[in-house]
Structure 1
């Protein structure tokens, strides 16, 4: 087993918007890709803001109720125990819709050297 990289803070588009803890960052067996795992807390009635990732996101809701809109797809109602995936470079938004903090654990398979998240304007239909 390989020890995870240090938990040093990496800044990206979501820094300061949500409480996020980078759990681990490791080189992937796929050249040019890193595996990054992040624990995110979304306060009640708060949204992440529309953003993209330079690779796949595979997530799991640990606590709370989160509405996830991925691209043009209908909103997903997610609760503790639900998983979700987001394709690379697809704008999406997560919003806590419950009375308590939403907590999710996401694993990203991202292009090396790029920020894990980049903010984007909301699509016209979401405004």
Structure 2
């Protein structure tokens, strides 16, 4: 009788601690976020070392309020942006802008400065998957 109760208690503790950790990460990220990120949020979903030494895979959900843009930035590796909902416009370096709707994706080459903007009438979200160097910050602001 004690063993099933112990297993249940451990399961609940694991679930609660995971939820608290996720909330703590979101709170820390939002507290550290500069003013230009109002209306823009990122929730990390997965982070895992990969077989290439010094690299990791990060997956995040990025939500954009209507009219909000992520400032020009780059990443120390490739990004695959998959639009989950809404309409996002991506401006990569000096290329013409590309508009993607839910279900469309775009590969952003390593180190390429880019801007993503919600050009739809409602909320827009993307699933961003990064294959990046571990020794560098995920996001580098570009002028």
TM over 0.5: yes
- Give the total of aligned pairs: 114
Structure 1: runs of 5 or more not aligned:
1-5, 122-127
Q: What do residues 40-94 of structure 1 show as CA deviations (whole Å, max 9, x unaligned)?
A: 0011101001000000001100000111001111100110010111001110000
Indicate the SS of the match to 1:49: strand
Give the superposition deviation at 1:113. Answer: 2.7
CA distance in 1, matches of 2:59, 2:92: 20
Partner in structure 2 of residue 104 of structure 1: 126
* TM-score normalised according to structure 1 size: 0.83
Of 104, 108, 111 in structure 2, the residue corresponding to residue 82 of structure 1 is: 104
CA distance in 1, matches of 2:33, 2:74: 14
Counterpart mapping for 1:37-48 below 5 A: 37-48=59-70
Query: Are 1:22 and 2:44 matched, yes or no?
Result: yes
After TM superposition, what 4+ stretches of structure 1 lie above 2 angstroms from structure 2? 6-11
CA distance in 2, matches of 1:34, 1:15: 23
Partner in structure 2 of residue 3 of structure 1: none
Give the superposition deviation at 1:20. Answer: 0.5
Counterpart mapping for 1:1-127 below 5 A: 7=22, 8=25, 15-16=33-34, 17=37, 18-121=40-143
Rg larger in structure: 2
Give the superposition deviation at 1:28. Answer: 1.0
* TM-score normalised according to structure 2 size: 0.74
CA distance in 1, matches of 2:45, 2:122: 22
Relative contact order: is structure 1 or structure 2 higher (C-alpha 8 Å, sep ≥ 6)? 1
* TM-align CA RMSD: 1.8
Indicate the SS of the match to 2:70: coil
Partner in structure 1 of residue 4 of structure 2: none
